[in-house]
Amino acid sequence: MSLVTNGIKENRVAAITLGCKLNYAETSTIIDMLAEEGWLPVDIDDGAELIIVHTCAVTGQAEQKSRQQIRKIIRKNPGSRIAVIGCYAQLDPERLAVIDGVSIVLGTIDKFDISFYTGEYKSEKSGAIVRVSPVRDLHNTAIPGSSMLCRPEKGRTRAFLKIQDGCSYGCSYCTIPNIRGRSRSVPLDLVLARAARIAEAGYREIVLTGVNIGDYRDAGVNFASLLKRLEEIEISRIRIGSVEPDLLDDEVISAVASSKKIMPHFHLPLQSGSDAVLKSMGRHYDTATYRKRFMRAVEAISGCGIGADVMTGYPGEGEREFDEMYRFLEALPAAYLHVFTCSVRPGTALSRQVAGRELRTVPHAEVASRASKLAALARNMELNFASSFVGKRLRVLFEERTGRADGTISWGGYSENYLRVDVGLDAGVISDGMRGAVHEVLVEGIGEDLHLQGRLLS
Ligand code: SF4
């Protein structure tokens, strides 16, 4: 029977994750490792003795959001121990350690030793325990943190699987290599073992994640061969996270085209549609290569959905470069766009170029106007792509139940090519079995929210 003091339950752990799919995959692993040590995972409002905040530092806004989340958690859980981990902790540990109520600050690799710092470890110094290994230590270290325990998480049908970490690309605006080190891959046998555990835990879809997953290589096994090996896992769906365009080669495209399990969907970060800006960013492709790879996938894989990240306001992006990007995107049959504005991050090549006046920043008002033009274009592109499936059949993995104003029930999920699809069911219909089920749907229309509306066929 666990002790309860001031509403705080001993040996209970909860976590909140900010940022990317990789952070979510790592949080699951960390909680699994703690559960193997006897901690009981609970929800964030269950009075856990230990609360983990997994931070993000990809932009200035992400850092601010992390600080706000930390303070909110501390206010709501005065008796809990708060551990702040991950990218922001790696980048600026001291700033987080001085937040009143923070007990532990752990960097990119140290976070996997959390059970040590929450156990018998006693810090000589007062205040928060701070453990942040220098990035140079990351470069050649094996990727820490693996657990063969894999708990099904309530209401989740999809699990993130970390296959790679770090990046050796060095894009001028990016701070991730400063936080996560150079590219390293999780050994193949560990990837396959964890994937099998995820399938046994009842998840229906695995999402492959990392920083630069297309750069996967272990003992002669590259990304395309890894995809083929994952076919042996007893699971319905395998989804690829984000792939760098120059790594979406013919081998990867044909591995997906010939697979029944790997979903016909790619997230292909473009960043800019201007060759001059791509060059300035240090990206590994130009617009011609991007379009060639994109169209090769669309032609080879039926119904393939490809989404892209685009960034505007990059220092040196003039009106001509922005127009080039806009016209490039207009001609791209993308399924969706994620639009970002450039954030000049400390410690990056870009921050040095701006400080050295080699590149001029774009005025905020101009950045805002460009971002809203791209957002309007993004909506049209998404509408065009989604509308092309009206009247067609899609296989949908259902994950979310919502009540409608007219009293009927709506179940929502994602198609294989990552379109959001909702189906309505009469209130009386027993539908608990819908969560985690894959059903064929006839698409009948598209809603204001650009969700496809359909009817269950099977
Ligand atoms: S590919 Fe570029 S943007 Fe992406 S993580 Fe690597 S350095 Fe950063």
211 Cα to the center of ligand 1, angstroms? 7
175 Cα to the center of ligand 1, angstroms? 8
Q: Which atom of ligand 1 is nearest to the CA of 244?
A: 1
* Same domain flag for 178 and 80: no
Ligand 1 pocket mutation pick from 135, 164, 178, 211 by most atoms within 8 angstroms of CB: 211
The answer to whether residue 104 sits within a structural domain is yes
* Same domain flag for 20 and 96: yes
For residue range 263-298, what is the model confidence (pLDDT) as tens digits?
Answer: 999 999 999 999 999 999 999 999 999 999 999 999
- The kind and range of the H/E element at 115 are helix 114-118
* Same domain flag for 159 and 85: no
pLDDT of residue 408: 77
**Does the CB atom of residue 282 touch ligand 1 within 6 A?**
no
Alpha helices in 233-306, H assignment, sequence order: 250-257, 275-281, 287-300
80 Cα to the center of ligand 1, angstroms? 36
CA dist 439 and 413 (Å) reads: 10
The answer to whether residue 277 sits within a structural domain is no
Q: Which of 68, 103, 133 is the last residue of a domain?
A: 133
The answer to whether residue 223 sits within a structural domain is yes
Q: Which of 105, 133, 161 is the last residue of a domain?
A: 133
The answer to whether residue 69 sits within a structural domain is yes
pLDDT of residue 9: 76
CATH number, residue 224 = 3.30.750.210
* Same domain flag for 256 and 218: yes
Handedness of CA 300, 301, 305, 310 (dihedral sign): negative
Q: How many distinct structural domains can be found in the chain? A: 3
DSSP 3-state assignment of 195? Answer: helix
The answer to whether residue 331 sits within a structural domain is no
CATH number, residue 70 = 3.40.50.12160
For residue range 193-250, what is the model confidence (pLDDT) as tens digits?
Answer: 999 999 998 999 999 999 999 999 998 999 999 999 999 999 999 999 999 999 999 9
Instruction: Tell me the whole-structure pTM to 2 decimals.
Output: 0.92
Which residue type occupies 415?
A: S
**Does the CB atom of residue 176 touch ligand 1 within 6 A?**
yes
CA dist 232 and 60 (Å) reads: 41
Q: Which atom of ligand 1 is nearest to the CA of 177?
A: 7
| Residue 161, phi then psi, degrees to nearest 5 | -120, 115
pLDDT of residue 135: 79
Q: Are 441 and 453 in contact (CB under 8 A)?
A: no
**Does the CB atom of residue 174 touch ligand 1 within 6 A?**
yes
**Does the CB atom of residue 169 touch ligand 1 within 6 A?**
yes
pLDDT of residue 448: 86
Q: Which of 242, 295, 293, 290 is nearest to 270 (CA)?
A: 290
* Same domain flag for 117 and 147: no
The answer to whether residue 73 sits within a structural domain is yes
* Same domain flag for 108 and 171: no
**Does the CB atom of residue 212 touch ligand 1 within 6 A?**
yes
Question: Which structure tokens are listed for 452?
Answer: 């496809």
* Same domain flag for 149 and 254: yes
**CA-to-CA dists, residue 157 to 160, 305, 415, 436, angstroms:** 10, 21, 13, 5
DSSP category for residue 204: S
In a structure prediction context, what are the per-residue pLDDT tens digits for the chain, which is 458 residues long? 455 566 777 899 999 999 999 999 999 989 989 998 999 999 998 989 999 999 999 998 999 999 999 999 999 999 899 999 999 999 999 999 999 999 999 999 999 999 988 875 555 556 889 999 987 776 666 666 555 566 666 667 899 999 999 999 999 999 999 999 999 999 999 999 999 999 998 999 999 999 999 999 998 999 999 999 999 999 999 999 999 999 999 999 999 999 999 999 999 999 999 999 999 999 999 999 999 999 999 999 999 999 999 999 999 999 999 999 999 999 999 999 999 999 999 999 999 999 999 999 999 999 999 999 999 999 999 999 999 999 999 999 999 887 777 777 889 999 999 999 999 876 666 677 888 999 999 999 999 889 999 999 87
pLDDT of residue 139: 65
Q: How far, in whole angstroms, is CA 185 from its chain's centroid?
A: 17
**CA-to-CA dists, residue 290 to 121, 283, 295, 367, angstroms:** 50, 11, 9, 24
* Same domain flag for 408 and 426: yes
CA dist 166 and 420 (Å) reads: 30
Crossing angle of helices 319-330 and 287-300, in 10° steps, is 10
DSSP 3-state assignment of 442? Answer: strand
pLDDT of residue 137: 72
Ligand 1 pocket mutation pick from 168, 174, 178 by most atoms within 8 angstroms of CB: 174
**Does the CB atom of residue 243 touch ligand 1 within 6 A?**
no
CA dist 332 and 384 (Å) reads: 11
18 Cα to the center of ligand 1, angstroms? 19
Instruction: Tell me whether residue 29 is exposed, middle or buried, using C-beta atoms within 10 angstroms of its C-beta: 0 to 12, 13 to 18, 19 or more.
Output: buried
pLDDT of residue 1: 44
Domain hosting residue 413, numbered range: 393-456
- The kind and range of the H/E element at 409 are strand 409-415
| Residue 267, phi then psi, degrees to nearest 5 | -110, 115
Ligand 1 pocket mutation pick from 59, 169, 283, 311 by most atoms within 8 angstroms of CB: 169
* Same domain flag for 439 and 407: yes
**Does the CB atom of residue 211 touch ligand 1 within 6 A?**
yes
**Does the CB atom of residue 171 touch ligand 1 within 6 A?**
yes
For ligand 1, atom 8, the nearest C-alpha belongs to 174
Q: Which of 454, 458, 431, 429 is nearest to 443 (CA)?
A: 454
